[in-house]
Structure formats: structure tokens, C-alpha cells
Structure 1
Amino acid sequence: MSKLVAVDLAKSYRLLNHGPTVLVSSAHAGEQNVMAAAWAMPLDFDPPKVLVVVDKATHTRELMEASGEFVLNIPCRAQAEQVLTAGSCSGKEVDKFAVSGIIALPGETVAAPHVDGCIAYLECRIISEPHNQQRYDLFIGEVLAARADPDVWHDGHWNFDGHDAKRSLHYIAGGNFFSIGEQFAVAARQAE
């Protein structure tokens, strides 16, 4: 795997802007867990913030609430089977890292691990919003560190050309994914 490069925090929202499925990792008191999540998005630029929905019944949520932090890992097409496995079993019953073959790597600024092989990650500290967390399962995270794979992240933008196995995943349902397609640009029409 390529060594990940630092991402300017002012541009870290771009890691999520195209709506990929993420792996949410968490850790507390010697325990760690990982889960798949399809509902994550950028929220703000300065400081950079993200949103993620994490159900009350998950082990990941228990660890997030206890530690006050989490990591949004952005997996790629080559990891689709691991993502599906991590999203199909409970961390309360099994060690999801062992069952899925996911390798945990140490975090940079948080105790929650990174998922080896992911094309990017955002380390986050929870901004406590008890109403949103309890009623909507919605967590706000301030991004503390972000890194991306230089094979597919250039000058603050994704570019997956020539790296099909590293294209980001997008979950549909029932074990079905699609991976991000071809990038293209258009010029804005000038007002007359």
C-alpha cells in the first residue's frame, strides 16, 4: 500500500464530498471496533467538521461515546468484501477485525485505529450534541487529522484514473456496491 499523505484540513471535506461508504472505527479502554456506514458527509470548513449516523445498538457507538472520538476510513473497491463483512456482523459478538481480515493501524491523534488499505481517513473528535445523538443517531466530528493515498489524491482532488481497485465504494443495498466512475469537468456558463 502507498504511504498516505497529509491533507490540508481546509480541503479535508473533499475526501467525503462524493458520498463514499465509510468504515467507522472506534476504541476505548483496550477495545476497538469497526463498522460500515453509508451516511457520512462533510458539514463545515473551518474548523472542518463531518456528520455520521451511528445506530444506538452498535458497539462502535458505545466506544465512540466513551472515548469522544472516531475515525472515518474511506475504503476502496478492493476492500468491498471486508466492508460488507464489517457491516454484516456485530462487534458485540465477534472481533470484526479478525472476522473480516481488516488490519487495524494506530491512529495519528486519536486512539481509534485506521483501517489498513483504505484510500483516506479523517480522525475526528466528537462535538457533543446530545439531542441529535439520542434522537437521530447523528454525530458531529471535528476533523483533527486527514490523510489520503497519493495514487488517487492529487492537489486537493480525487483522481482515480488508472487505479480501478482504489476507486471509492458506494453501497446500494443487499450486498451491492458501485465504485465511483470517471471524473469529468464542465465550465460554468457566464450570466449575460
Structure 2
Amino acid sequence: MEDFIKPVDPKILWRTLNIGGTVLVSSAAEGKSDVMAAGWNSVVDFDKAMVIIDKTHYTRPLMEKGEYFALQLPLATIAPVVMNLGSVSKNDEPEKLEKSGAEFFAIPGFEALPLVKGCAAWLIFRRIPEPHNEQVYDMFIGQCVGAWSDTRVFANGHWHFETAGEDCRTLHYVSGGHFYKIGDPITVPGYDG
């Protein structure tokens, strides 16, 4: 793990996901693992989040069977990797991860989950089984049990995109290979953020 990756209090996970970026979802079960891109994700409580995973994705049964999953906020530098992980299915290409161009690492205690280098944050969740939400809405909810950030971008509970450089901005997917990078900060005086 890189020296600039440091733990973050899982209770402030909402600050990491509130920027609305595209995430990479890592999942694992029964000796299998996958990583896919997902645009539909959100905070649902201070230490809980949700992500939508369609039934057709290879990742789906891993999410249903696994105890943990990860959400990661990729940086602009790995946009081609994000597109590959989001557009190639392991159902069609069993060597998807090996051919994706992604570099992986593991967090001690969660070695089964392949985490992607080049992200601003890595959040590990314990899945909260909600069969109705999962089957009807494809919605998976988890409670954050561990969080890490790239301290060049997120430190002391706050984002620092303005000092981190253009390559250290998170991705926001539109469609057809088109992303936006998060923009410049606007601070309204008199409010503690």
C-alpha cells in the first residue's frame, strides 16, 4: 500500500461519497472476485451507502453471496481503466481483471477484495441483507467498516482537490465514454464544512 494512503474514520464516509462520483465496486465470494464501475451510488446514512448492481452483471451473485464489498472513487488518471471495468463483463471475458489495465492491492483483513490503485478513497462495507431492495430495486446497502483515502486529495475529513492537481480529481460519468472531473471549490462564508 502506498505511503499516502491512510485510514479514515468510517463515520465520515458520507463526506467521501457526497461528491457524487462514479465508483468502482469490488466484490468477492466463493474464491471469485470482480470489479465493476457504477454510477448509481449514494450515502444512505452517516456510515452507510448503497449501490445499484443489475442482475445481469457478474458482480451481482458475488454481492449476494459475499459478506463485504468495496466502493472506490477513481481519479481522472485511470479513466480508461474505469471504462474497461465498466464495459467488459467477466461473464464474457473471464480474464477481465487481468486485461483491464488496473493495478490491484489488498487491505489486511479484506484480502479477497481486489482494490484498485489510482483512487481517491477506498471504502469497505459489510453488506446489510435487504432481500426486497436487492431483488426489486437491485439496491445493495452496506455499513462502512473500514475507509482509506489518498491524503493528497482527502485529509482531515475534507477534500482538497484545489491543491492536489488536475490528475487527482474524481470522475463523474455521463455516458458513451464521457466523464467530467470534479471542479473547483466554492466556500460560502459563515458555515463550517
> TM (normalized to structure 2)?
0.91
- Report what 1:99 is aligned to: 99
The answer to whether the 8 A contact 2:4-2:152 is kept is no
What is the 5 A alignment of 1:92-131?
92-94=91-93, 95-110=95-110, 111-131=112-132
Kindly indicate whether residue 184 of structure 2 is the aligned counterpart of residue 182 of structure 1: yes
Work out which of the residue numbers 164, 167, 170 in structure 2 matches 1:168: 170
Identity within the alignment, %: 41
**Shift of residue 154 of structure 1?**
2.2
Secondary structure at the counterpart of residue 5 of structure 1: strand
**Shift of residue 96 of structure 1?**
2.2
Mean Cα deviation higher: 166-175 or 28-37: 28-37
Kindly indicate whether residue 55 of structure 2 is the aligned counterpart of residue 56 of structure 1: yes
Structure 1 portions without partners, runs of 5+: none
> TM (normalized to structure 1)?
0.92
Secondary structure at the counterpart of residue 65 of structure 1: helix
- Report what 2:75 is aligned to: 76
The answer to whether the 8 A contact 1:169-1:178 is kept is yes
**Shift of residue 107 of structure 1?**
3.3
Deviations 1:16-57 (A, max 9, x none): 101000000111222211100001111112xx1001000111
**Shift of residue 2 of structure 1?**
4.8
Following the alignment from structure 1 to structure 2, what is the Cα–Cα distance between the partners of residues 41 and 69? 17
Following the alignment from structure 2 to structure 1, what is the Cα–Cα distance between the partners of residues 109 and 158? 23
Following the alignment from structure 1 to structure 2, what is the Cα–Cα distance between the partners of residues 3 and 30? 30
The answer to whether the 8 A contact 1:77-1:166 is kept is yes
Structure 2 portions without partners, runs of 5+: none
**Shift of residue 188 of structure 1?**
5.6
Secondary structure at the counterpart of residue 162 of structure 2: coil
